[in-house]
């Protein structure tokens, strides 16, 4: 794929994702305590196995080391068709040209299977370098993202900023998995909740008037629930412990099969969570 074609396709992904979000999206606000904990959590399941609260989410982080990201899940053909109908109505010929180029690239693979029949996760990220667009298979997991998400940016420079884009996308998917666990479901904030609404708008610089979903880490009701169950309280460990987000798929879990669970990280004796260190390899050059 030529560099010009990469530019066209990445722009088309951005157009399609933004239109899909306008049609089906919600805004999710993520407290710093959530990202602090999830930085020390592995995700064992694939990201399409958890229930998303919406087909598209504009995720805003209190921790500003993560970029604002719009992330969507759906079928290739549905997303592109929605975008095509919109730009066809508006008469945006340049956008139609980009979408057509993307459809060609997403044509049948080497086995003749149409790729537009696949499900996909798309993302559009607001960064100091401008908008960054990308997509990945919906069945991807944490390991696949870390190994494969090295060529998604619409400029070909591979540097620390590129890795930061990957960190944001992976964190957004972790948050979606976390919020799918019933006990940690996000709190809905409507414009009638004036105090919460004003606080959220001020903290996260929210635009628009739609309802908001706020994700917090281990709410008080969950701690009470755990205490009633008589679970042994784990004290601080010398070096802490990495947490896990898991989906129980094994036949061993007869009554809980299919449920998502969080095994939270444990801070070290200084109150700091352990950090998961990734070794990201430089991608191979793209074929012309």
pLDDT tens-digit profile of 174-231? 999 898 888 888 888 877 888 888 888 788 878 766 778 888 887 755 555 455 555 5
129 or 23, which is more confident: 23
In a domain, 284, yes or no: no
Q: What is the number of domains present in the chain?
A: 1
Q: Tell me the mean pLDDT in the region 141-148.
A: 73
> Does any domain span residue 110?
yes
Examine residue 101 and state whether it is found in any structural domain, yes or no. yes
| Between 101 and 108, the higher pLDDT residue | 101
Retrieve residue 3's tokens: 């560099």
CA distances from 279 to 28, 140, 167, 241 (A): 29, 18, 12, 20
Q: Which residue has the tokens 């919406």?
A: 54
CA distances from 75 to 24, 71, 227 (A): 13, 13, 42
Residue 106 reports pLDDT greater than 70: no
Half-sphere exposure of 35 (CA within 13 A, CB side): 20
* 281 is a domain residue: no
Most confident of 48-52, 118-122, 169-173: 169-173
pLDDT class for 159, splitting at 50, 70, 90?
A: low
Q: Is the pLDDT of residue 155 over 50?
A: no
Q: pTM for the full model? A: 0.78
Q: Which domain holds residue 138?
A: 3-32+51-217
Q: Which residue has the tokens 């460990």?
A: 237
Residue 277 lies in a domain: no
Residue 168 pLDDT more than 80?
yes
* Residue 251 domain flag: no
Assign 281 a pLDDT band (cuts: 50, 70, 90): low
Question: Does residue 229 lie within any of the structural domains?
Answer: no
Within a domain: 280: no
């Amino acid at each position: 794929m030529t560099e010009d074609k990469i530019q066209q396709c990445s722009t088309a992904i951005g157009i399609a994702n933004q239109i899909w979000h306008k049609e089906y999206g919600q805004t999710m606000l993520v407290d710093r305590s959530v990202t602090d904990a999830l930085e020390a959590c592995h995700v064992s399941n694939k990201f399409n196995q958890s229930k998303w609260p919406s087909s598209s989410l504009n995720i805003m982080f209190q921790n500003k080391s993560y970029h604002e990201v719009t992330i969507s899940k759906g079928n290739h053909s549905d997303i592109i068709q929605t975008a095509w109908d919109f730009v066809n109505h508006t008469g945006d010929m340049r956008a139609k040209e980009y979408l057509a180029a993307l459809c060609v690239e997403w044509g049948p693979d080497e086995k003749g299977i149409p790729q537009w029949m696949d499900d996909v996760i798309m993302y559009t990220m607001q960064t100091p370098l401008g908008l960054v667009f990308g997509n990945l298979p919906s069945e991807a997991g944490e390991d696949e993202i870390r190994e494969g998400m090295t060529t998604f940016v619409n400029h070909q420079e591979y540097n620390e900023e590129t890795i930061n884009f990957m960190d944001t996308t992976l964190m957004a998917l972790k948050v979606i998995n976390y919020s799918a666990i019933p006990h940690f479901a996000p709190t809905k904030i409507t414009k009638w909740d004036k105090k919460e609404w004003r606080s959220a708008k001020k903290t996260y610089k929210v635009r628009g008037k739609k309802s908001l979903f706020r994700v917090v880490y281990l709410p008080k009701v969950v701690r009470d629930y755990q205490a009633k169950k008589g679970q042994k309280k784990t004290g601080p460990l010398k070096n802490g412990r990495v947490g896990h987000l898991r989906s129980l798929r094994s036949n061993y879990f007869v009554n809980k099969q299919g449920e998502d669970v969080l095994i939270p990280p444990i801070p070290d004796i200084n109150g700091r969570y352990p950090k998961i260190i990734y070794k990201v390899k430089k991608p191979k050059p793209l074929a012309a």
